[in-house]
């Protein structure tokens, strides 16, 4: 393991760690020359939160819902952070924070305004199942819109008990109304448990579920995998897809690399059965861990950077808010080590990456991005700060 993982544990931060024994690639330098991105970071909260890890809101809802890694979802209402005692949800007693674990994400049902369903994604801390990845469905109280009723209902459980890293991690709904979940390759290093290319495992995958009724159903148009594969799997060959997001008909996946490359994959949201290559490839580098470097049929990244520029990519969103017109349509992302703010856009097949020269969220603290009910974007830091991306 690289030192970054030890640092994360020591200071109580989540790190979608890039670990391995290889050194940085020499294909690019640390002082890359990128076009400028005209945004800056404005502090929203400097204190009061414990390791904020996800920020969401239903479309048009003025509240902010902020997940804390130890197991709570807090509410900001009227610009005020409500006390922890008034949390939207508190399942801290059930959540593991060992290594990279924690409450990792949550998603509002597309029909939330009528059914009140919220899907919560966390790593369990229960003897015998500690380390398992869980998604549970909760429902808003009929008497208080700021409280989720407990207990929730289990949607899916993915055993993950061999290592305390590479949980992956996000649950969200796609434009097709299906529930998607990303899971890391099971941890350790070099895909040592062999899950990423094994279609019979849910680890190292992007899953797609129909949760219109529970227990979930496997959508009829999901890919059918050979050799007793798990047909919940929508895509395979991922290492630690800590964050991904949809933008209309496109899917953006930020997959954390091993020792050399961080990558962004951009594909059609309807493209099923893809293999993103890990651990045959790391980005566009041939690794051939566990077999020959056979690349036909693999989906390469549209963008990658080496470890002279960072250590672990933090994926964000395509900006669709109204406050920064010049950012419209650009995918915004960061890096745990470098703390940069960059955007990626694709026009006529040409990828352009821009960087905000004055926007730096701080090294070793960038945990995640958030998106409010108006489409504005935020950066969540492990030191408790919430920063909004605003026009420069």
Percent of the chain with pLDDT over 90: 84
Q: Is the pLDDT of residue 320 over 80?
A: yes
Residue 145: count of CB within 10 angstroms of its CB: 12
Q: Name the residue with tokens 């008497």.
A: 143
Average pLDDT, integer, range 218-234: 94
Q: Is the pLDDT of residue 378 over 80?
A: yes
Query: Percent helix, strand, coil in the chain (nearest 5)?
Result: 5, 40, 55
Closest CA to 117 of 99, 136, 100: 136
- pLDDT recorded at residue 15: 52
| Residue 290's pLDDT band (cuts 50, 70, 90) | low
| Residue 16's pLDDT band (cuts 50, 70, 90) | low
Q: Is the pLDDT of residue 20 over 70?
A: no
Q: Is the pLDDT of residue 372 over 60?
A: yes
- pLDDT recorded at residue 197: 95
- Does residue 27 fall inside a structural domain? no
Residue 386: phi, psi to the nearest 5? -120, 125
- Does residue 31 fall inside a structural domain? no
CATH of the domain at 367: 2.120.10.30
The pLDDT tens digits for 103-139 are 999 999 999 999 999 999 999 999 999 999 999 999 9
- Does residue 30 fall inside a structural domain? no
Q: Is the pLDDT of residue 29 over 80?
A: no
- pLDDT recorded at residue 365: 83
Omega cis (within 30) before 189 = no
- Does residue 123 fall inside a structural domain? yes
**Are residues 233 and 218 in contact, defined by beta-carbon separation less than 8 angstroms?**
no
- Does residue 303 fall inside a structural domain? yes
| Residue 7's pLDDT band (cuts 50, 70, 90) | very low
Write the DSSP symbol of residue 320.
-
Q: Which residues contact 153 (CB under 8 A, 6 or more apart)?
A: 136, 137, 138, 214
- pLDDT recorded at residue 18: 57
- pLDDT recorded at residue 9: 32
CA distance 19 to 4: 8
Closest CA to 340 of 268, 281, 285, 262: 262
Supply the range of the domain harboring residue 42: 3-22+36-391
- Does residue 28 fall inside a structural domain? no
Q: Is the pLDDT of residue 276 over 80?
A: yes
CA distance 204 to 157: 14
Number of domains in the chain: 1
Q: How far is CA 15 from the centre of its chain?
A: 11
Closest CA to 346 of 338, 354, 336, 337: 354
- Does residue 7 fall inside a structural domain? yes
- pLDDT recorded at residue 297: 93
CA angle 213, 214, 218 (to 5 degrees): 80
CA distance 8 to 203: 22
Q: Is the pLDDT of residue 269 over 50?
A: yes
- Token pair, residue 366, equals 């960038």
- Does residue 135 fall inside a structural domain? yes
Average pLDDT, integer, range 373-387: 95
- pLDDT recorded at residue 364: 72
Average pLDDT, integer, range 357-385: 89
Q: What is the pTM of this model?
A: 0.92
Q: Pick the residue with more confidence: 281 or 229?
A: 281
CA dist 251 to 231, 240, 317, Å? 19, 16, 10
Q: Pick the residue with more confidence: 289 or 106?
A: 106
Q: Is the pLDDT of residue 355 over 70?
A: yes
| Residue 377's pLDDT band (cuts 50, 70, 90) | very high
Q: Pick the residue with more confidence: 360 or 89?
A: 89
Percent of the chain with pLDDT over 70: 91
Burial class (CB in 10 A: 0-12, 13-18, 19+), 51: buried
DSSP, collapsed to helix, strand or coil, labels residue 11 as helix
Q: Is the pLDDT of residue 281 over 80?
A: yes
Closest CA to 275 of 206, 322, 364: 206
The pLDDT tens digits for 230-265 are 999 999 999 999 999 999 999 999 999 999 999 999
CA distance 98 to 300: 32
- pLDDT recorded at residue 228: 81
CA distance 360 to 340: 5
The pLDDT tens digits for 34-83 are 999 999 999 999 889 999 999 999 999 999 999 999 999 999 999 999 99
Q: Name the residue with tokens 């290319």.
A: 197
């Amino acid at each position: 393991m690289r030192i970054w993982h030890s640092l994360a544990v020591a200071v109580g931060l989540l790190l979608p760690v890039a670990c391995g024994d290889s050194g940085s690639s020499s294909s690019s330098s640390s002082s890359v020359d990128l076009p400028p991105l005209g945004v800056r970071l404005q502090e929203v909260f400097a204190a009061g939160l414990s390791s904020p890890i996800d920020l969401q809101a239903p479309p048009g809802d003025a509240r902010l819902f902020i997940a804390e890694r130890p197991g709570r979802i807090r509410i900001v209402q009227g610009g005020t952070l409500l006390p922890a005692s008034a949390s939207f949800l508190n399942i801290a007693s059930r959540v593991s924070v060992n290594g990279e674990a924690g409450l990792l994400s949550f998603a509002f049902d597309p029909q939330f305004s009528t059914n009140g369903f919220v899907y919560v994604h966390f790593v369990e801390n229960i003897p015998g199942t500690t380390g398992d990845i869980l998604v549970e469905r909760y429902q808003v109280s009929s008497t208080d819109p700021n409280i989720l009723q407990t207990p929730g209902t289990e949607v899916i459980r993915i055993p993950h008990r061999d290592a305390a890293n590479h949980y992956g991690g996000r649950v969200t709904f796609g434009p097709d109304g299906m529930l998607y979940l990303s899971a890391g390759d099971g941890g350790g290093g070099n895909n040592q448990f062999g899950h990423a290319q094994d279609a019979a495992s849910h680890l190292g995958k992007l899953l797609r579920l129909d949760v219109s009724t529970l227990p979930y159903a496997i959508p009829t148009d999901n890919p059918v995998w050979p050799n007793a594969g798990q047909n919940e799997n929508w895509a395979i060959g991922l290492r630690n897809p800590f964050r991904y997001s949809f933008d209309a008909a496109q899917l953006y996946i930020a997959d954390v690399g091993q020792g050399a490359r961080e990558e962004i994959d951009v594909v059609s949201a309807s493209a099923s059965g893809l293999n993103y290559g890990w651990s045959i490839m790391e980005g566009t580098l041939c690794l051939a861990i566990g077999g020959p470097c056979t690349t036909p049929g693999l989906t390469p990244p549209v963008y990658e950077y080496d470890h002279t520029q960072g250590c672990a990519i933090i994926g964000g969103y395509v900006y669709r808010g109204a406050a920064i017109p010049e950012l419209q349509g650009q995918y915004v992302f960061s890096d745990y080590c470098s703390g940069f703010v960059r955007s990626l856009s694709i026009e006529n097949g040409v990828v352009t990456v821009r960087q905000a020269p004055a926007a730096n969220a701080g090294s070793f603290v960038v945990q995640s991005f958030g998106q409010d009910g108006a489409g504005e974007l935020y950066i969540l830091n492990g030191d408790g700060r919430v920063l909004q991306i605003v026009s420069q």
